[in-house]
């Protein structure tokens, strides 16, 4: 089980959280082409390495936040609030 | 109040008024002031004033348990502040779990650490009790106020009794 460090509540067990997919994907304006809209909806990087992703503490404070997780090892490198820039952790494994 | 393990009792709490307030700092401040508190309690803490108790569920969320006279004060204080105030009195049922083994029983259903050093008196949080979402509030060293959604009430009560029975057997075996 992953131990996830909610920025508001502290470390909690994974079962309290809901996964929210890749973070930092900006919703485009309504008048973009269909190809761009499809890319926004469906195309993800499928990162092998450090991935910025959203989590929601659904059985806790209820807030979304972002985390940097290495998809190869499941190790978390940082937890940060929605709206703040992605911290620089390099290519740490 | 029913004894479910040696020295550990479970009781259903009588109906009470419960309000969930969501809003930014101004709304939380206004509500706290109306309850007679200097400021909203910090994250995962409860605080009681003359108008009732406020429990900090999240950075922008309070659960308010007002006294019979406190409800009107909350409404008045929030009248001019943007906020969302929802009465959830009937959505929840409350239990009181008391006794020397209360923390052990909860630990059988929830991965949180219920040691006094990491879950002190006055701390509260939403979490999971087995598979049901619950709010756990430590009102005293050996007593916990548990709130679950009404439809989960019989299930959570049964799970608490199940764990308590297991603890009783383990005590017998020693």
Domain ranges of chain A: 3-27+35-81
Decide if B112 and A60 are in contact by the 8 Å CB cutoff: no
Decide if A62 and B127 are in contact by the 8 Å CB cutoff: no
**Searching chain B, which residue's CA lies closest to the CA of residue A13?**
B111
From B133, B143, B109, B160, select the one nearest B57 (Cα to Cα): B133
Angle B25-34/B70-78 helices, nearest 10 degrees?
150
Q: Which strands, in side-by-side order, build the sheet including B61-66?
A: B46-49, B52-58, B61-66, B19-22, B84-87
pLDDT in tens, B132-162: 999 999 999 999 999 999 999 999 999 999 9
Distance CA B148, CA B22 (A): 19
Distance CA B160, CA B59 (A): 30
Residue B136, both tokens: 């756990």
- Contact criterion met (CB below 8 Å) for B27 and B78: yes
Interface pTM, i.e. ipTM: 0.88
pLDDT in tens, A9-55: 999 999 999 999 999 999 999 999 999 999 999 999 999 999 999 99
3-state secondary structure labels for all residues of B33-82 = HHCCCCCCCCCCEEEEECCEEEEEEECCEEEEEECCCHHHHHHHHHCCCC
pLDDT in tens, B23-77: 999 999 999 999 999 999 999 999 999 999 999 999 999 999 999 989 999 999 9
Domain B19-87 has CATH 3.30.70: yes
**Searching chain A, which residue's CA lies closest to the CA of residue B111?**
A13
Start-to-end Cα distance in chain A = 19
Q: Which strands, in side-by-side order, build the sheet including A50-56?
A: A18-22, A50-56, A64-70, A76-81
pLDDT in tens, B92-117: 999 999 999 999 999 999 999 999 99
Phi and psi dihedrals of B92, rounded to 5?
Answer: -105, 155
Domain A3-27+35-81 has CATH 3.30.2270.10: yes
Decide if B59 and A59 are in contact by the 8 Å CB cutoff: no
CB-nearest to B125 from A1, A9, A13 is A9
- Contact criterion met (CB below 8 Å) for A44 and A53: no
Which class does domain B2-14+91-173 fall in?
alpha beta
What ranges do the domains of chain B cover?
A: 2-14+91-173, 19-87
Residues of A at the B interface, defined by Cβ within 8 angstroms: 1, 8-9, 12-13, 15-16, 59-63
């Amino acid at each position: 089980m992953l131990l996830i460090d909610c920025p508001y509540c502290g470390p909690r067990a994974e079962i309290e959280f809901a996964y929210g997919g890749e973070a930092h994907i900006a919703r485009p304006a309504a008048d973009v082409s269909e190809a761009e809209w499809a890319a926004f909806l469906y195309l993800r990087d499928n990162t092998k390495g450090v991935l910025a992703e959203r989590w929601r503490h659904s059985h806790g404070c209820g807030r979304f936040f972002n985390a940097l997780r290495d998809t190869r090892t499941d190790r978390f490198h940082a937890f940060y609030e929605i709206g703040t820039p992605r911290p620089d952790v390099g290519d740490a494994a | 109040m029913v004894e479910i393990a040696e020295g550990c009792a479970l009781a259903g709490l009588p109906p009470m008024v419960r309000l969930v307030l969501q809003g930014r700092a101004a709304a939380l401040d206004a509500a706290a002031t109306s309850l007679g508190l200097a400021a909203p309690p910090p994250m995962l803490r409860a605080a009681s004033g003359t108008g009732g108790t406020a429990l900090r569920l999240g950075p922008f969320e309070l659960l308010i348990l007002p006294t019979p006279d406190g409800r009107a004060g909350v409404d008045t204080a929030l009248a001019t502040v943007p906020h969302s105030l929802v009465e959830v009195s009937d959505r929840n049922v409350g239990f009181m779990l008391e006794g020397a083994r209360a923390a052990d029983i909860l630990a059988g259903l929830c991965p949180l650490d219920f040691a006094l050093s990491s879950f002190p008196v006055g701390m509260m949080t939403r979490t999971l009790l087995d598979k049901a979402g619950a709010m756990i509030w430590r009102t005293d060293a050996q007593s916990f106020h548990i709130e679950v959604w009404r439809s989960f009430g019989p299930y959570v009560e049964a799970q608490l009794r199940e764990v308590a029975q297991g603890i009783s057997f383990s005590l017998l075996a020693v």
